[in-house]
Structure 1
Amino acid sequence: METNQLVNTLKQKQVDVAFIRTLMPEKLDFEKIIIAQEFFTVCLNREHTLANRRKIELADLKDENFIMLAKNSLLYEPVINLCQKAGFEPKISFVSDRMSSIFQMVKSNQGVTILMHPQTKNSELSFVSLEPTSTSTLLFIRNKENHSKIENDFWNYLKQFEMPNRNN
């Protein structure tokens, strides 16, 4: 499920704990355990002329075809907004809700994609830091009250994965 759906199921008490990605964790009115923070990166075919750079300025991608996650994803609008702030409208050539399809399109040199830092290794793709970027936060959330013993035990177990120096 997308983040919005997960938050709604949690509010409706259909689930006890949710693992989500958000760009604004401070706006969530839940107990939180922050696991990680990630940044936007550019995913390109290894043979792309920008693939060996250490960092790419977003404006350098203005003439590229963009392969995007679906409009209902958490990342669609922030990517559009970043491009607009960099002075261009992205030329979107393909949209999918499946990362495997997006990666396949990039491998086939059909365009580039911007996504949160991936934890994947792929010899046909290159992942390069992006400037400017945005931060997303990966976290567990739950309602603030009325927890069962099992839920509390699970929550306490999850706390071992919390990012250091966070008080949530």
Structure 2
Amino acid sequence: MRDVRLAHAAFEPAHELQRFGDGQDAGGIVSFLGKVRAEGGDNSVTALELRHYAPLTLSGMDQLAMRAERHWRLTGLLVIHREGIMHPGDPIVLVACGARHRRDAFEACDFVMDHLKSESWFWKREQTAQGWHWVEPREQDRDDLSRWADVG
């Protein structure tokens, strides 16, 4: 079961995980929930905006999910990614991987998140007291992504 969605409005992670889990014949489910964080001090984020290139975004997310399914033995894969303007505490992304054995679920979830974080179809900007600014992937994000060079 593959469920890949681009969310144009808020989603409820607990509901989505419950729904995903109910449809699984898995020994384990690993999930990752990314939320808008507010950093302290003068750099406090008051809003986050994710823009995307519509003709490629959903198809690219689906191709990423298929790569994970080809490499790991998954019983299911859920990817929900928001676009638009969000605020601290709002869910941005939910990835869940079901598998008969935990290692496949952990690695597939990590793989999908590393790609969504560093090599995806989204442009991110944050609003702070100083105004809006674009956010680029960090060097650590690129290093994380390089671990998956052998996954076709």
Q: Same fold (TM over 0.5)?
A: no
Question: Which is helix-richer, 1 or 2?
Answer: 2
* TM-score, structure 1 as length reference: 0.26
Structure with max Cα Rg: 1
* TM-score, structure 2 as length reference: 0.28
